[in-house]
Structure 1
């Protein structure tokens, strides 16, 4: 006999609805309703309908009154698998959020035509996969994968030729690890920050896996393509699933591997509630489903170093590898006017000129655009937007400056300090640096690589490549020289993560150099420069973590930001005060709203998250409007926003 009731998670942003609701299954839908499918159900108020996911079935319910029936089955496909539901519920509770918000990130919107084609198709088993060799790590990495272990892996800093294309050695390592997981009968979830890394990884995977074994889940895909890839994951055959942060929520009943490349990249931070970082999702999913867990990178974040210090992650390094040849160069004064204008000291200038005879030269700069910012020509105050107070910038496409934040054109700009109307450019972005280099190296091709000028691969021909951090193309065979400019400006950014961010940017660029090619770090000295020059990034992460422990900064402790009215924030703090180390604030963030930062130990995380979540629900329901009427005049709707592990309070506004 089939079950009589369905327990449904409603697709609603309201925090008070983040629980399972019981619905009666009509006789005509008894055979159609099953766990994981999308259904349409009624809400008790005003006869409204909403969608939801059937989480489980039941033969009876504790409610003694009339139970509303399921209205309709939207789709017969069980898109919410048990493992994804367990993951969504757990990470939402850990982040004091709603499981429904997580599922909106995990499950793409339904595409009826794609679904119909998929249901009618014959899903045959893909061909078997032999394991690919894992070169460069001896037997350590093989053992971690075979034993479903957990490791922080130092990537090999070089480029590898795969067919006719060059990719980072890290991509070849992950592809080989995925092939071993699939050969053993498990799927591999491979997370990368953006499409540049994804392309390299797919090329490496294609060399060791047939196309039937590779699925891409990417935010850049069209809605039909993304839903088609999602449905492939439901077929049950072991796959290598590649994508950005949402790939960690892809359905996979049996996991052989979860791997993240470069987990310090800010693109892994989820901007939507409940703001779960991809690293945390990977850790929770591994805890629930097992399989091997790898964090691979040229540098190590303080978060992964903390797990290594606890013994939870094993540290795996290449058995023998030649690190890049890093040279530290100060900002020496040069007599060459063109070199000085391009911000290149004599040593780096000579290396660049010699390298151009054999291949391309990479110059990493701190910012895109022409000038970093505009200032008043009379008083020197920074020129800012009248609408949003964002910094103004110039563009070749317009005769007038525009706002870097909102894009508004400042045609009639006037300095609010001295009423001046003239401005001048300060600093050099990627475009201006390229212009200066073009004059300094006449006849040499100059290529700009940034968000507006995207290049993924370049031939091994002489050229000057001016790239912003993270936008560096891969040159065939590697760059003949790499110049890391604007180092002083990068480390001057006010951020808790500035040191590890800079080391990550520089290390990733250095790994693009050809074997033996010079990598020149300009204008930076001290421990950070030494860590790059000696290629001992893990040691720097250990020192950084020790400093965070002394100061009670994350990840040594956990933090949460609580934002709302003063009364709501005060009640929330009192609800968790017994679990806290301390409270920073509250401080006013805008009119009528304050923000407090609470710090607590990891062991108190569940209690803090649960109590803060209860306060969010309390604030939401206290301001609930009557269904059939309007909110009484003068009655403010209380709002409370909670974000756990929030990085924003530790970043200066001007640096975001």
Structure 2
């Protein structure tokens, strides 16, 4: 659909009817008269029929508004061709399309603005002076050109949605690179990169930019050997790349704020991406305390669409040079960026769940390379991908000495399976004696955190005789206790009255997994004088006071305590460690360290009790507070097995025949390995279908494709081309392609 070549400055001939400007006058009346049919007599002579007849006759006599066309009308005197990316996320349309620019839109139709264009079957085909088809779709104008290489007549731009340029060349280049890396379309990435428009926010002017602040003092960065040098490099305009293993405690938001301030002092911008709004608020408060208001923008969903777009516009217009936000902020249009930061890259919130599933860490790595800015990956733990960045030499480690680690970390104590079996208190109430003692001592000086891997009351029940999982007799869903006297199915909601075990015939149920609400109830009975608060899926607490209290939380929802927690219990460690996932050990250690980092140092009495087998590698890494060593050992094991991130992988999921056809048609690199296909199990009846699962009654397969380092781009390109060819044919079944899937278990 690209236009014909034209002499610069010459007038392009656009056939009449190819593209009408949209206005209230262009709407056509509905009904038979509007289609040219003569109105017939009413079926009866009642008042309603007579009124309908009069209205039909009136509309038939009303002259039609003629559509505005561009036949013979002047187009833009210079650069009359607009290159547009349309908001169609299908791969076979992942290209630019050329449109003619009418003279009346010349001033507003500038690169980066939102436009509306005719697109679809027949949008550029004209017969007898009338457009054959094509509807209005959104798009972005990315370039103005003097000519087009399309040989046919060009349709004209329908109109410019807003003269506000929202798509910068840097954002467009980054979006294209991300789309190619993840075998996706540019339109899908731009939907993530550019927030929805708010006319009210666009009408408000952004404030004038403030002058660069002075370079900050190192502050708590002095605890890290290379910390002050890292800040000096940022302040001097350098582009260091580092993997930062942060010390436990409340100082990391302030340390991030100092890194941002050092970058701003060099006249450049900075971007910080965190997993959730709770941590974004902490960094926001630290930046405000260090630099004052007006120097940074906060981009989170909690702000609301209009406020978020207003802040985003302030960044795009150059009013502020620093951004703190959640996942979508990774594309924030920061002017002259000098530093990009991702905090806690192991959190699953950093991976987008919409195609093509980009990850914040990988996007910011691309952005650091394209825009030649510094890169900082920070966390209190360490992922295998972070360890690989250091191992490859792409980034340098930024960590404290062991003396500083021991001074900042709490005391870690373990309770294994053998101790639990001998402990009468553990058999009676699931908490070992060491845990009870730790709670009592901790409540004397402050709040105590209790981390429970499952939400709810008793989300897992089993037979009290043979320990087999209890299933619903109607839909085979898992049974759960939602209260003291209520047991039902988690999928269909039916009561479990009259249940009996199909394995042994037993009729009594026992708890296999105890949830956060049940744990809070048990602790409330054991400590009746102490307030018990819960934080989880239903309600997530941001902070709690430093007074004695029991705080029961699921992983990732732990609130920050004023002055730190006096103690913490990490219960049911087996539930995190036994998940059928390649990242089970890494994820368990990350969850434990995130919770333990909120506890006071050992010198102030801080103690953490983890209920898990002490000999396991993640437990030992927690005791030593050595997440980096654990990540290095995991990386070495994966290198022997050629698992990610040492290798690059892609998963292809869908109907068996479609998956086989796509893999067979893809021009895979010669070194690619095809693992599978593996038949995916049907989702049990009664349970909602999850993403990537087959519909009921369909046979789906999954194939894993593995390539060595350096061939990831070729693999993504081959899958994208094969997928685009399939999608260009109507009626082909949908196949899901995901590059670098988080779960390959």
TM-score normalised to structure 1 length = 0.89
Please give the residue correspondences for 1:612-651 in structure 2 after superposition, counting only pairs within 5 Å: 612-622=719-729, 624=730, 637-650=732-745
Where does residue 152 of structure 2 map in the other structure?
65
Q: Is the 8 A contact 2:425 2:432 kept in 1?
A: no
Please give the residue correspondences for 1:279-298 in structure 2 after superposition, counting only pairs within 5 Å: 279-298=361-380
- Once residues 462 and 704 of structure 2 are traced to their aligned partners in structure 1, the CA distance between those partners, rounded to angstroms, is 34
Q: Alignment partner for residue 518 of structure 1, among 590, 598, 607?
A: 607
Q: Is the 8 A contact 2:581 2:744 kept in 1?
A: no
- Once residues 416 and 141 of structure 2 are traced to their aligned partners in structure 1, the CA distance between those partners, rounded to angstroms, is 63
Report deviation, 1:376.
5.9
Between 320-329 and 364-373, the greater mean CA deviation after superposition: 320-329
**Are 1:148 and 2:228 counterparts?**
no
Q: Alignment partner for residue 365 of structure 1, among 452, 461, 464?
A: 452
Q: Alignment partner for residue 673 of structure 2, among 576, 582, 593?
A: 582
Q: Is the 8 A contact 2:669 2:715 kept in 1?
A: no
Q: Is the 8 A contact 1:144 1:292 kept in 2?
A: no
Between 424-433 and 11-20, the greater mean CA deviation after superposition: 424-433
Where does residue 280 of structure 2 map in the other structure?
198
Where does residue 480 of structure 1 map in the other structure?
566
Where does residue 312 of structure 2 map in the other structure?
230
Where does residue 318 of structure 1 map in the other structure?
400
**Are 1:543 and 2:633 counterparts?**
yes
Q: Alignment partner for residue 437 of structure 2, among 350, 355, 362?
A: 350
Q: Alignment partner for residue 91 of structure 1, among 155, 178, 184?
A: 178
**Are 1:450 and 2:536 counterparts?**
yes
Rate the CA distance shift 1:582–1:326 in 2: closer, same or farther, 3 A. same
- Once residues 373 and 551 of structure 2 are traced to their aligned partners in structure 1, the CA distance between those partners, rounded to angstroms, is 41
Between 93-102 and 477-486, the greater mean CA deviation after superposition: 477-486
Q: Alignment partner for residue 244 of structure 1, among 326, 332, 336?
A: 326
> Structure 1: which 5+ residue stretches go unaligned?
159-167, 625-635, 651-656
Report deviation, 1:202.
1.4
Looking at CA atoms only, which structure, 1 or 2, has the larger radius of gyration?
A: 2
Where does residue 24 of structure 1 map in the other structure?
100
Q: Alignment partner for residue 215 of structure 2, among 131, 150, 153?
A: 131
- Once residues 387 and 216 of structure 1 are traced to their aligned partners in structure 2, the CA distance between those partners, rounded to angstroms, is 49
Q: How many residues align?
A: 623
Please give the residue correspondences for 1:257-296 in structure 2 after superposition, counting only pairs within 5 Å: 257-296=339-378
Report deviation, 1:68.
1.0
Report deviation, 1:127.
4.9
Report deviation, 1:309.
0.3
**RMSD of the alignment, in Å?**
2.5
Report deviation, 1:302.
0.5
- Once residues 497 and 169 of structure 2 are traced to their aligned partners in structure 1, the CA distance between those partners, rounded to angstroms, is 58
Q: Is the 8 A contact 1:153 1:315 kept in 2?
A: yes
Q: Is the 8 A contact 2:654 2:735 kept in 1?
A: yes
Q: Is the 8 A contact 2:321 2:335 kept in 1?
A: no
Rate the CA distance shift 1:386–1:9 in 2: closer, same or farther, 3 A. farther
Where does residue 491 of structure 1 map in the other structure?
577
Report deviation, 1:3.
1.1
Report deviation, 1:21.
0.4
Report deviation, 1:398.
9.8
Query: Which string of whole-angstrom CA distances, capped at 9 and with x for unpartnered residues, describes residues 320-359 of structure 1?
Result: 4424122233342488755544433223322221221111
**SS at 2:365 equivalent:** helix
Where does residue 109 of structure 1 map in the other structure?
196
Rate the CA distance shift 1:536–1:179 in 2: closer, same or farther, 3 A. same
Between 522-531 and 37-46, the greater mean CA deviation after superposition: 522-531
- Once residues 132 and 386 of structure 1 are traced to their aligned partners in structure 2, the CA distance between those partners, rounded to angstroms, is 65
Where does residue 327 of structure 1 map in the other structure?
413
Please give the residue correspondences for 1:328-407 in structure 2 after superposition, counting only pairs within 5 Å: 328-331=414-417, 332-333=419-420, 340-375=427-462, 381-384=468-471, 390-396=477-483, 399=486, 401-403=488-490
**SS at 2:631 equivalent:** helix
Where does residue 558 of structure 1 map in the other structure?
648
Where does residue 686 of structure 2 map in the other structure?
none
Q: Is the 8 A contact 1:6 1:57 kept in 2?
A: yes
Between 497-506 and 365-374, the greater mean CA deviation after superposition: 365-374
- Once residues 632 and 501 of structure 2 are traced to their aligned partners in structure 1, the CA distance between those partners, rounded to angstroms, is 46
Report deviation, 1:506.
1.0
Report deviation, 1:274.
0.4
Q: Is the 8 A contact 1:186 1:238 kept in 2?
A: no
Rate the CA distance shift 1:616–1:263 in 2: closer, same or farther, 3 A. same
- Once residues 702 and 674 of structure 2 are traced to their aligned partners in structure 1, the CA distance between those partners, rounded to angstroms, is 11
Q: Is the 8 A contact 1:373 1:393 kept in 2?
A: yes
Q: Is the 8 A contact 1:561 1:644 kept in 2?
A: yes
> Structure 2: which 5+ residue stretches go unaligned?
1-76, 122-132, 681-693
- Once residues 453 and 567 of structure 1 are traced to their aligned partners in structure 2, the CA distance between those partners, rounded to angstroms, is 44
Query: Which string of whole-angstrom CA distances, capped at 9 and with x for unpartnered residues, describes residues 225-272 of structure 1?
Result: 221121111121343211111111111131021111111011111100
Query: Which string of whole-angstrom CA distances, capped at 9 and with x for unpartnered residues, describes residues 134-166 of structure 1?
Result: 3223423224534211100011211xxxxxxxx
Rate the CA distance shift 1:335–1:412 in 2: closer, same or farther, 3 A. closer
- Once residues 103 and 612 of structure 1 are traced to their aligned partners in structure 2, the CA distance between those partners, rounded to angstroms, is 20
Query: Which string of whole-angstrom CA distances, capped at 9 and with x for unpartnered residues, describes residues 552-587 of structure 1?
Result: 111110110112344432343332444444211112
- Once residues 180 and 509 of structure 2 are traced to their aligned partners in structure 1, the CA distance between those partners, rounded to angstroms, is 51
- Once residues 619 and 416 of structure 1 are traced to their aligned partners in structure 2, the CA distance between those partners, rounded to angstroms, is 50
**SS at 2:581 equivalent:** coil
Rate the CA distance shift 1:34–1:326 in 2: closer, same or farther, 3 A. same
Rate the CA distance shift 1:642–1:334 in 2: closer, same or farther, 3 A. closer
Between 517-526 and 429-438, the greater mean CA deviation after superposition: 517-526
**SS at 2:342 equivalent:** strand
Where does residue 624 of structure 2 map in the other structure?
534
TM-score normalised to structure 2 length = 0.79
